[in-house]
Structure 1
Amino acid sequence: MPAHQKENRAKLDQAFKNKNHSVIINPELDEWYKLGFKGKDIAHLCCNNGIELMSLKNMGAGYCVGFDICDLAIEEATNRAAISNNDCQFVCTDVFDIKDEYHSKFDVVYITVGALGWLPDIKAFFAKVSALLKPTGSLFIYELHPVIEMLSQDDNLAAHPLQIIEPYFKSEPYEDTSGLDYVGKTAEQTTTQYWFVWKISDIITAVIESGLNIARFIEYSHDISQSHNRNQAAGIELPMSYILVAKR
């Protein structure tokens, strides 16, 4: 996270001084307009540095709260919101431990790229999502497609683009101690981290079992992870990302 901040923080601070600044573009933006977000109360789980939530606030969202376990990410988001007079709130917590005071408070719970892979229990996570929603609330996910997890990433130059190196039905999480920073592209020794690859069926089933009804599910052939540029450039249209909208 410190390398990430060093690389990108000043640029984002400057950009968000413009009260109309947004990092949300199509096709995501179009889906937000279909759902409706202006005046809506939004919780962003695993929000990282909060720029997507701040973008929705700039475009007219109501009460906005971001939650993330990383204290440095929350510090960055809080500071940026303060200097840009953006009225988002950010809370440092494990998403499984979000306090009951936030239950039934939100019109939309928002999940963005790189969130679901950190979660060891997908069913418990979506149960928490459901608890946070108002009786007429919605879930909005824009995430990495699990099919792309089968392919080599950009830093694996020994593998050919589109080469399948991992199974889709992977039962154990990946273990990593490199601490690779996704913006600065630098590695630092860190504690062991675990990355869980959830199948689309895992995600859809967990959403349904949480009491939500799937309204839209759209798959895309573009990468939103910043890790599969070579695979996208190869020109074979595979599912690389998706948007899922669910409602009570």
Structure 2
Amino acid sequence: MELKEYTRANREAWNEVMPKHQKVNKVDLDTFFARPGFVIQTDKDVLRMFDKISMKGKDVIHLCCNNGVELMSIKNMGANRCVGVDISDAAISEASERSKKCNIDCEFIRSDVYELPEHLYNSFDVVQITSGCIGWMPDINLFFNTCRKVLRPEGFFLINEIHPFSELLPFDNSEVENRLQIVDKYFHDGPIIENTSLDYMGGEQYDAKTQYWFVHTISDLVMALNRNGFRIMDFIESTCDVSAGHRKIEQLNAQIPLSMVILSEADGKIGN
């Protein structure tokens, strides 16, 4: 399949599930963001990275922003221009509606991240991606190249993501009794193709549209950063589950990496 075919299919899968997510959390999120200055982020490692690069006054773009609540929180922390991009029409519609309702000045754009409008290039001090972004990317090197293009010189790239090691372990909805049993491989030659529920909010089971998930290893990520001229400033692995799919393992306190935070700076030449 061509890259565009993967992203088109994933767009349809996300448009299908977003109304299910909204049934669960839309009212609560509207209530939370009606409070002036509300910030949804609580992870101490992420907040430390925010302090490290000082988000106040920064121009920030959040790629794969979903319903925009993390970006709206960054705006509430004092960021300047805030732009969110997501492939899902339903997610962007929700984000735009909430930001207007709560009077939080963010711009939301419906776009495939591989086809960003060029007026966004060289326009931001910080590009952020968060949980459940990287796995939808068929080409990680090309995606990180896009992240580099939207940044100004010496801009920051903040990744708060699912740790690829967690992909080896059973998800909460698995019937496997041993939560620490290895049930999948680390290295994949192609995408994981599924029609399973994407409703991690309400847990509704349904026959979902076909979706394509890509497991990128740590070396894939590090080398993609390197090739695109990013210098890693900080890299933290954590036992916290940011996927909403490994809560049972998190509760075991098994000291297994379930998530990671990577902060890098655009300060080198783009390689091959």
Give the TM bin, normalised by the shorter chain. over 0.9
- Distance of 1:204 and 1:158 partners within structure 2: 32
Decide which of 32, 38, 62 is 1:21's aligned counterpart. 38
The aligned residue for residue 138 of structure 2 is 120
CA RMSD of aligned residues (A): 1.0
Q: Does 1:81 align with 2:99?
A: yes
Give the TM-score of the pair, scaled to structure 1. Answer: 0.98
* Structure 2 counterparts to residues 93-172 of structure 1, below 5 A: 93-172=111-190
Tell me which amino acid in the other structure corresponds to 1:19: P
The aligned residue for residue 60 of structure 1 is 78
Q: Does 1:243 align with 2:243?
A: no
Tell me which amino acid in the other structure corresponds to 1:119: M
Decide which of 19, 23, 35 is 1:2's aligned counterpart. 19
- Structure 1 residue ranges, 4+ long, deviating more than 6 angstroms after superposition: none
The aligned residue for residue 177 of structure 1 is 195
Decide which of 40, 52, 56 is 1:34's aligned counterpart. 52
Deviation at 1:104? Answer: 0.2
The aligned residue for residue 66 of structure 2 is 48
Structure 1, unaligned stretches of length 5 or more?
A: none
- Distance of 2:67 and 2:30 partners within structure 1: 11
- Distance of 2:197 and 2:173 partners within structure 1: 14
Decide which of 187, 207, 219 is 2:225's aligned counterpart. 207
Deviation at 1:102? Answer: 0.3
Deviation at 1:232? Answer: 1.5
Is the CA contact (8 Å cut-off) linking 2:159 and 2:262 kept in structure 1? yes
Is the CA contact (8 Å cut-off) linking 2:136 and 2:213 kept in structure 1? yes
**1:9 is paired with a residue of what secondary structure?**
helix
78-87 or 221-230: bigger deviation: 221-230
142-151 or 181-190: bigger deviation: 181-190
164-173 or 34-43: bigger deviation: 164-173
- Distance of 1:179 and 1:240 partners within structure 2: 21
Tell me which amino acid in the other structure corresponds to 1:34: K
Deviation at 1:188? Answer: 2.6
Give the TM-score of the pair, scaled to structure 2. Answer: 0.89
Is the CA contact (8 Å cut-off) linking 1:150 and 1:165 kept in structure 2? yes
Deviation at 1:176? Answer: 1.1
Structure 2, unaligned stretches of length 5 or more?
A: 1-17, 267-272
- Distance of 1:232 and 1:162 partners within structure 2: 11
- Identical positions, percent: 41
Q: Does 1:234 align with 2:252?
A: yes
Deviation at 1:184? Answer: 1.1
Is the CA contact (8 Å cut-off) linking 1:220 and 1:239 kept in structure 2? yes
Tell me which amino acid in the other structure corresponds to 1:14: T
Is the CA contact (8 Å cut-off) linking 2:198 and 2:208 kept in structure 1? no
- Distance of 2:178 and 2:264 partners within structure 1: 37
Tell me which amino acid in the other structure corresponds to 1:40: K
Tell me which amino acid in the other structure corresponds to 2:92: I
